[in-house]
Amino acid sequence: MDTPYTNGYEFTQGSGYALPHYPFVVPAELTSGEVRRHRVVIVGAGITGLTLACGLARLGVEAVLLDEDDTVGVKGAASRGICYTQKSLEIFQRLGLYERIAAKGIQWSVGRTFAGEDEVYSFDLRQQSSFGLSSQPAFINIQQFYIEGYLVERIHALGHVDLRWKSRVVGFVQQEGHATLTVETPAGTYPLQAEHVIDASGSHTPFHAWTGATMTSRRGDDRWCIADVRFRQTPPRERHTWIEAPFNGNRAVWQHLMGDEVWRIDYQMEPNADPEAVSREDVVRERLRQQFGHDVDCEIVWVGPYAYRSQCLDRLRIGSVFFVGDTAKIVSPFGARGGNTGVADADNLAWKLAAVLHGQAPARLLESYHEERHEAAVENVRVTNRTARFLRPADGMERTFRQAAISLARQYPFARSLINTGRMAVANAYTRSGVCDGTGGLSVQNVRLHWADGSTGSVNDLIAWAEGHLLVLLFGDLTVAAAQRLRDIGAATGARAVQVVGPTVRARAREHVLDPQGHLQGACHVFGHAWALLRPDAYIAATGESVDAALIRAIQKALGIPE
């Protein structure tokens, strides 16, 4: 039965996951025989492709989204990604689906790591000021298919994007200024042209071969068994990890709570383990009894094996094709750096495509997608590979270091930071970007502020008000001359400008907001009388002090306009 786009469906029904099914609609090209050219075609309706499509729809960009399936998630597969970072949640808030995620998901802040029976490391994100100022929490755990389903509904509500299910891309030809895709459907095969192709089709994409993409890759021999379990009596609502779990042969274990009171438990297996054998329900139940006791009462929602590899493309753009999410890089599942970085890829590319297609920026702005997100991909691969080596060290120095770190952490607080069960994902900095200067490249949290009438707003509200344009935030007093220069700059560049008024500053601009505690200024990494140039993806492009030619140059650089 086909699932409507807006029916508030629940995916989990008893044992197993029940996913929605969306209707196949015969595309106009098959009916007319006409070869149509589209500005943007996205291939793959996973979390990255859907986030990109939703971001484009919010900015009024027409696009086509092709997916070979007729559902979100993967039929018969697990919850997949479950842990979503503050940066991703802030992006989802801008897209209009954060409230649904917060209502369904589980907020958590406490993480504990054990070696045997000993707790060797713990953290409470509520005590870390870097997370506390945003309107969104540090993390929410929720099954990935829920977010994908919410994105489908939101795209349908926004319009602009043609969602085409049961549409498999089986051919690709790169041409001057565009590409031609061959799309296979239940009603026949047809050609489709695109000026920009975004490949979000996953790690097994054929676009790597079609475009001649090169990459650096590493395959590990680590094997895991993933169990999604619902207990009658639930464990503590905290993130628990074991480096050496006595109930799992002294191998690692992860324990997370998700939506629907379902727990994700990941068991590290022996390197030569038979995937089919370790995933049998009777074997998993025995593993659960060893962990929780022989009287454990639980329902197994899903179980399956997992093996990881790391991979990073050398170029994230080849001709007309942009690689995002798992087509750009694959990381080990430690620290929630997989799906979250795909969401960030989509957010980065969406505003740039919109700026170019709306005539606000030259096409060269799109080159900065590779510069920024490749740097992020390399960093995330490096960080997750380091965790993988800690969890499964090679004999020799790596194993000696791990044993020493665990031994010291049992007694000495200074050594606990050496325990590496996953460095939790944060917004990547852009230090090599051609469109950010040396003062930019940092993410701005969605901090709260007050509108001129005293009502509460946030950074995301300011970004929405800017409607896809760059946003100049001016902190401190504003002279009459500077106010006029700011208006002139806005008229010449299209940038929107707002004065940010502190407790001792008088508002002189018509467009102003109140920042009584200085949280917005702190989030923008500036102090005193200064300006910050904020991009639609909530990254700082540049900062400065005077409203002068330097601000004009920063705006031009942020849009990829040559000097």
161-179 residue pLDDT tens? 999 999 999 999 999 999 9
Q: What is the mean pLDDT of the chain?
A: 89
Which residue, among 446, 398, 415, has the nearest Cα to 136 in the 3D structure? Answer: 446
pLDDT band with cut points at 50, 70 and 90 for residue 365: very high
Q: Which of 40-44, 330-334, 477-481 is predicted least confidently?
A: 330-334
More confidently predicted of 37 and 133: 37
Whether the pTM exceeds 0.95: the reply is no
Say what the pLDDT of residue 133 is.
85
Q: What percent of the chain has pLDDT over 70?
A: 95
pLDDT band with cut points at 50, 70 and 90 for residue 318: very high
Identity at 123, one-letter amino acid code: F
Say what the pLDDT of residue 73 is.
79
Say what the pLDDT of residue 6 is.
32
Average pLDDT over residues 100-118: 90
Measured distance CA(112)–CA(121) in Å, rounded: 6
pLDDT at 355 over 50: yes
Average pLDDT over residues 321-332: 92
Say what the pLDDT of residue 17 is.
67
Average pLDDT over residues 175-193: 96
For the segment 55-92, what is each residue's pLDDT rounded down to a tens digit? 999 999 999 999 999 999 765 555 678 889 999 999 99
Give residue for tokens 């659960």.
288
Q: What percent of the chain has pLDDT over 90?
A: 58
pLDDT band with cut points at 50, 70 and 90 for residue 2: very low
pLDDT at 235 over 80: no
Q: Which of 3-12, 202-211, 255-264, 489-498 is predicted least confidently?
A: 3-12
Strands (E), 13-159: 37-43, 63-66, 83-85, 106-107, 110-115, 118-124, 139-141
- Supply the Cα-derived Rg of the chain in whole angstroms: 25
pLDDT band with cut points at 50, 70 and 90 for residue 225: confident
List alpha helices for 128-218, DSSP H. 129-132, 144-158, 207-211
* Longest CA pairwise span in the chain (Å): 77
